[in-house]
Amino acid sequence: MTIVLYVLAAAMIVVGLLGTVLPALPGVPLLFAGMFLAAWADNFVHVGPLTLGILALLCALAIAADIVASLLGAKRVGASTWALFGAAIGTFAGFFFGIPGLVLGPFIGALAGELIAGSTVRRAAHVGVGTWLGLLFGTLVKVALAFAMIGIFAFALLIPA
């Protein structure tokens, strides 16, 4: 049974890591859940409460950074509520079009939302770029924190708690 738990934990960690860049997957929470499952399967011998607490904090920071960076990118350029809504829809819709959709979806959604709000094409493009840059920055921070989590987890596996 322990082997099954380790395999499931490893799968959750891999899918979680993929989810840090794919918007349809709850990447960092899935990554943390996989690490928690592996710690549990090991009876918390190598990954103890302190390490899990640090990993949980990094998980929460990654989630917050992703949300805050997106909002700050849009706010910095003065995006309307429609642009934010459009960026969210564009991000979701972009998932179905692979990498080009993931890159262009938030931009196109924010652009369309800003146009619906009554802005000029130039202003809407500016908002689209600002929103996209915020999403990109949030993703980069999330990926960095995910790799920090993996590093801390791997280090903890080498040293008993």
Residue 61 scores a pLDDT above 90: yes
Token digits for 16?
């979680």
Domain limits, the chain: 2-158
Say if CB 83 and CB 74 are below 8 A apart: yes
Ramachandran region, residue 100 (left: φ > 0; alpha: ψ -120 to 50; beta: rest): alpha
At 161, is the pLDDT very low, low, confident or very high (cuts 50, 70, 90)?
low
Number of Cβ within a 10 Å radius of residue 98:
9
Q: Taking the chain, what is the end-to-end CA distance rounded to the nearest angstrom?
A: 23
Residue type (1 letter), 67: I
Compute the distance between CA of residue 14 and CA of residue 89 in angstroms, rounded to an integer.
26
Identify the pLDDT of residue 160.
65
Question: Which runs of consecutive H residues, i.e. helices, occur in 20-116?
Answer: 27-41, 49-76, 81-94, 98-116
The predicted model scores a pTM of 0.78
At 41, is the pLDDT very low, low, confident or very high (cuts 50, 70, 90)?
very high
DSSP label at 96? G
Identify the pLDDT of residue 53.
97
At 58, is the pLDDT very low, low, confident or very high (cuts 50, 70, 90)?
very high
* Mean pLDDT over each residue of the chain, to the nearest integer: 88
Say if CB 24 and CB 97 are below 8 A apart: no
Q: For the residues 9-36, what does the mean pLDDT come to?
A: 90
If you search the block for the tokens 């989810």, which residue do you land on?
Answer: 19
